[in-house]
Amino acid sequence: MALRRVLGLGAALGRRSCCSQHPLPPDFVEALRAVVGGPNVSTAMAVREQHGHDESMHACAPPDAVVWPQAVGQVQELAALCHRCHVPMVPFGTGTGLEGGVNAVQGGVCFDLSRMDAITELSLEDFSVAVEPGVTRKALNSYLRGTGLWFPVDPGADASLCGMAATGASGTNAVRYGTMRPNVLNLRVVLPDGRLFHTAGPGRQPRKRAAGYDLTSLFVGSEGTLGFLTQATLRLHPLPEATAATIATFPSVRAAVDCTVQVLQAAVPVARIEFLDEVMVGACGRFSGLELPEAPLLLLELHGSRHSLAEQQRQAEEIVRLNGGSGVAWAEEPEERGRLWDMRHSAWYAALALRPGCQGYSTDVCVPISRLPDVVVETKRDLQDSSLTGPMVGHVGDGNFHCILVFNRQDPAEAQRIHAFTQRLGRRALAAGGTCTGEHGVGLGKRALLLEELGPEGLDTLRCIKAALDPHNLMNPGKVL
C-alpha cells in the first residue's frame, strides 16, 4: 500500500533536483520498507554516516537512507522506485574504495549489497564462477580452496569483487594476470530504471566474444554511475605449482626501474614486481620488525612449475645483479613468503606510523614504464620541496605507483600543499603520457584531472554515454563526471 502511494506520487516528485541535496519524499522510506522489509532499511544517523565514506580522506557525505536488498529482484524494485521519484542511488560494497566512490554527495539511498553473497556457477573446466556483490576476494579464494583454481586480482583490501569490477581495480598481480577488466566475463546489471540485463547476455561465459559493443568493459570501471553490478562472472586461473618471492635492494630508483623493464623484456613471466622507495622501506622495516637496508627495493614473486621456477629465478637474479641490485634468499614456503608480503601489505599503516595521529591519502598515477624513473625522481624532489611525507609503493611492472601522503588535516596550510602536490603529480603523469589513476578510479578527487587527461571531446563522449544510460543522473551522481 505504502509503495503504491509513493509510486503514485512519482510524477509530482519528478522535479526533485538531482544537483542538490533534498529530503526524501514523504512516505518514501515506508515504500523502501515495503520492498525489502523493515529491518533492511535504516535512517539512523550512525548507519548513514558509516555508509557515507570509504577509506579515503574525502569528507563523509551520508545518504538519506540505507537499504539492504537480499535479491536482485529487490534491487530492481528499489531502483524503479528511486527512479520514479528521482532519488539518487549509491551502490555500496565493502566501503574500501580510495576515491570517495560511495560518498553520497547528493544524498539519496545507499544500496548496501553485502547481504547478496551467493557464489554460483563454478565450472572447473571453464575456469569460471559467478559471484554476487557480497562476495569478497578472500571469501571467493576460500571457497575455491582445493579446486586447483584461484582468482588472482589483489588490490590489498578484502574488497567486494563486484566493487572491484565497478572500480576497475587491480593491484599486485596485474602484471601477470591482468586487471579486473580481462578477468570479468559477464555482469548482471540493474539499470537506473530497474531493468535488468547481462552485459554478455544471460547465462553466458565464453572466453571471447565479438558480438556487439563490449558492455562488460564499459561497466567495469564505471564506478556505480551507470547501474548496479549485482553479479559478476569471473575468469579463474590455475594455481601455480610453485611460488617463490624475494627482495632485491638497489643503489637508485632508476636502477630498480631499469631492472623491472629488463625483466619484462626478457619475458620472465613475473607474477608480482613491487617497488618501495627508501622512505617506505624504512617505514615498513620498522613497522614489521624486518631488518632492511634503507634503499630502493623490489619485491618479486614468481609463479610456475617447479622446473620453470628455477629458470625464472636464475634469469631474475642475473638481471637484478646486472642492475647493481643485491638480493636475499628466495622464500618458497608459504610462511616465509607471507612475511615478505605482510611487510608490503603493511605499507599503508607503516606510512601512517611515520606521523601518528595524522591522515593518509594515496595518489595513483600510472605512466609508461620508460618514463617511470624520471617521474618518480621528480616526484620525490617535489615531496621534499613541499615539505610533505609521502613514501612510495608501486606496481612497477605496470608503471603504477602510489605516494602515501601522511598529513595533518587540522593544518590548512599542509592540506593546501597536499592538494597542490597531487595536482602537480597528476599533471606530471599526464605530461609523461600516463593517467591520473591506474586503479583507484576518478571518484570525487580526480574529476578535474580527467578533463585534462581525455580532453573536452573525450569527456563529451563519456558524458554522452552517461546521459544515454542514466538520463536523470541518478546513479552515484557527482562521481567521475
Instruction: Tell which positions 273-332 bind a second copy, by CB under 8 A.
Output: 305, 307-308, 311, 315
Contact 92, 110 (CB under 8 A): yes
Q: How far is the CB of 56 from a second copy (least distance, A)?
A: 14
Among 10, 73, 156, 201, binds a second copy (CB under 8 A): 201
Cβ proximity to a second copy, 15 vs 207, nearer residue = 207
Q: How far is the CB of 144 from a second copy (least distance, A)?
A: 14
Under the criterion CB under 8 A, does residue 155 sit at the interface with a second copy? no
Cβ proximity to a second copy, 118 vs 454, nearer residue = 454
Q: How far apart are CA 370 and CA 314, in angstroms?
A: 24
Q: How far is the CB of 161 from a second copy (least distance, A)?
A: 16
Length of the chain: 481
Beta bridge partners of 389: 406
Under the criterion CB under 8 A, does residue 154 sit at the interface with a second copy? no
Among 196, 290, 377, 415, binds a second copy (CB under 8 A): 196
Q: Which stretch binds a second copy (CB under 8 A): 37-45, 47-55, 197-205, 352-360?
A: 197-205
Contact 398, 286 (CB under 8 A): no
Contact 103, 444 (CB under 8 A): yes
Alpha carbon distances (Å) from 89 to 75, 144, 193, 226: 11, 33, 11, 11
Under the criterion CB under 8 A, does residue 211 sit at the interface with a second copy? yes
Footprint (CB under 8 A) of a second copy, residues 398-427: 398-400
Give the contacts of 113 (CB within 8 A, at least 6 positions apart). 69, 75, 91, 92, 93, 132, 133, 134, 160, 162, 228, 230
Q: What is residue 137's three-state secondary structure? A: helix
Q: How far apart are CA 355 and CA 394, in angstroms?
A: 21
Footprint (CB under 8 A) of a second copy, residues 71-110: none
Cβ proximity to a second copy, 38 vs 238, nearer residue = 238
Q: How far apart are CA 97 and CA 167, in angstroms?
A: 8
Among 122, 215, 290, 353, binds a second copy (CB under 8 A): 215
Q: How far is the CB of 38 from a second copy (least distance, A)?
A: 31
Kindly write out the interface string for residues 360-399 of this chain, putting x where it contacts a second copy by CB under 8 A and - elsewhere: ----x-xxxxx---------------------------xx
Under the criterion CB under 8 A, does residue 171 sit at the interface with a second copy? no
Among 63, 134, 163, 240, binds a second copy (CB under 8 A): 240
3-state secondary structure 222-257: CCCCCCEEEEEEEECEECCCEEEEEEEECCCHHHHH
Q: Greatest CA span in the chain, whole angstroms?
A: 75
Under the criterion CB under 8 A, does residue 205 sit at the interface with a second copy? yes
Q: Is 156 left (phi over 0), alpha (psi -120 to 50) or beta?
A: left
Count the neighbouring beta carbons within 10 Å of the beta carbon of residue 320. Answer: 23
Q: How far is the CB of 394 from a second copy (least distance, A)?
A: 12
**Structure-block grid coordinates of residue 132:** 554476487
Cβ proximity to a second copy, 131 vs 292, nearer residue = 131
Among 265, 326, 384, 416, binds a second copy (CB under 8 A): 265
Q: How many helices (H) and strands (E) does the chain have?
A: 17, 18
Cβ proximity to a second copy, 57 vs 268, nearer residue = 268
Cβ proximity to a second copy, 12 vs 211, nearer residue = 211
Among 14, 26, 203, 338, binds a second copy (CB under 8 A): 203
Q: What is residue 362's three-state secondary structure? A: strand
DSSP letter at 298 equals: E
Under the criterion CB under 8 A, does residue 172 sit at the interface with a second copy? no
Kindly determine how many residues on this chain lie close enough to bind a second copy according to the rule CB under 8 A.
98
Footprint (CB under 8 A) of a second copy, residues 454-473: 454-455, 457-462, 464-469
Among 94, 170, 389, 476, binds a second copy (CB under 8 A): 170
Footprint (CB under 8 A) of a second copy, residues 23-82: none
